[in-house]
Amino acid sequence: MTRVSSETKRDRVRAILPEARRMATSCTACGHACGANRTGDGVGVCRAGRGDGALARWQTATPHFGEEPMLVGNGGSGTVFFSYCSLRCEFCQNWQISQQGDGRDGHYRELAHTFLKLSDQGVENINLVTPTQYILPILLALEVAYSEGLDIPLVYNTNGFDSVELIRLLDGVVDVWLPDLKYMASEPAGRFSHGANYPEVALAALRQMYAQAGPLRIDNGVATGGVIVRHLVLPDDISGSYAFLLWLNDEDMRDVTISLMSQYSPQHRASLYPEIARPPTAKEYQDIVAYAEKLDFEHVLIQEMASKDVYLPDFNRQQPFL
C-alpha cells in the first residue's frame, strides 16, 4: 500500500487545526466533555491544561520493544508517554505519569523535534500514548514534523475514552488506531476508573475508528494502518470480556485485530478493592481466548500468563526527554 506523503499529512493537519483549536477552547476531546479552556488557564478533569495550547507534558520518549509485534518491527515503536489521563484507573500500572503527572512541560516545537529524533533512530512509527488531552499541541507539533519530512505511521494509543468528534477530526492524520476497551458495563467503569459512561463512549469511538480505518494493514511485518483493539482481562470477568467479543461479532468486526492481554496485576490502589486485588487465573484467561476462537475471530494476539511480571514500567528510572 502506498504511504501517504509528508506533504499530504501536513496539509491535512493544517486543515483541521482551526477545528482542533476550537475544540481546545471548550474541551470535548474525551467522554467527560468537561469544557476546559486549554488555550487559556483551564485545567480539565484529566488535570492537563494551561500553556495557551502550545504546551504538552510528557515523561518518556523512546524506542519501545514491548508493544504488539507489528508495531515493534525491527526498529521498535517510537513511543511518547504523555502525562495525566482522562481516566483514573485504580489499578493503573503507569500511575506515576497518569495519576501523579510525572513529566515535564514542553513546547510543541520541542515535541516535533522529539518525533523527528525518534524517526532518525529508525523506529517503525510514532506511538502517542494517552494523547487525547494534548491533541492541539500534538497537531501543532505534527505540522512542524511533517514539514521537516517525518514520514512514518502515526499510532494513536488511547484508553478508548475518546469522543467521536475527535476521532472524526483525526481522519487522515492517524494511521493506526490502538484503543483499549476496558469495560462493557458502567458500574465497574465508574468504580475502578471513575468514568461510568466509559462503555458507551468507548464503543462509539471504536465503531468510528473501524469505519474510518478498517482492519489492520501490514507491510513487511509492520502495521501501516487500521485498528488494533486492546482488551485487558480482569478477574471474574469484571472487564466484560465475553460481552465485548459478542459485541465485536454483532458489529461484523471479526477481522479486527484483538490484543487479549493477560498482564493484569494489582498495581496502584487495586489492593483496596477485593474484586481486583488478584490477577486473572490461567483458566479465566484461556477460556476467553477459547471463546474468541469459537467466534472465529481472524486475528487474535495473546500473551503468556507471565506477562504480568514483565510489563511493569518504573518511569522514575527512565530518561524523560530525547
CA distance 148 to 150: 6
d(CA 314, CA 320): 12
Beta-carbon neighbour count of residue 296 at 10 Å?
Answer: 8
Residue type, 15: A
Tens-place pLDDT, residues 128-158: 999 999 999 999 999 999 999 999 999 999 9
pLDDT at 196: 98
What's the pLDDT score for residue 2?
Answer: 55
The pLDDT score that the predictor gives to residue 271 is: 95
Residue ranges of domains in the chain, CATH in brackets: 6-317 (3.20.20.70)
What's the confidence (pLDDT) of residue 178? 98
Full 3-state SS string of the chain: CCCCCHHHHHHHHHHHHHHHHHHHHCCCCECCCCCCCCCCCCECCCCCECCCCCEEEEEEEEEECCCCHHHHCCCCEEEEEECCCCCCCCCCCCHHHHCCCCCEEEEHHHHHHHHHHHHHCCCCCEEEECCHHHHHHHHHHHHHHHHCCCCCCEEEEECCCECHHHHHHCCCCCCEEEEECCCCCHHHHHHHHCCCCHHHHHHHHHHHHHHHHCCCEEECCEEEEEEEEEEECCHHHCCCHHHHHHHHHHCCCCCCEEEEECCCCCCCCHHHCHHHCCCCCHHHHHHHHHHHHHCCCCEEEECCHHHHHCCCCCHHHCCCCC
Q: Which residues of 197-226 are buried (b: 16+ CB within 10 A; e: fewer)?
A: ebbebbbebbebbbebbebbbbeeebbbbb
Task: Judge whether 109 and 144 are in contact, CB under 8 Å.
Answer: yes
How open is the CA angle 155-231-189, to the nearest 5 degrees?
105
Using 50 as the pLDDT threshold, list the residues of the chain that sit under it.
1, 310-322
Angle between helices 135-147 and 6-25 (to 10 degrees): 160
Q: How distant, in Å, are the alpha carbons of 130, 198, 244 from that of 127?
A: 10, 23, 25
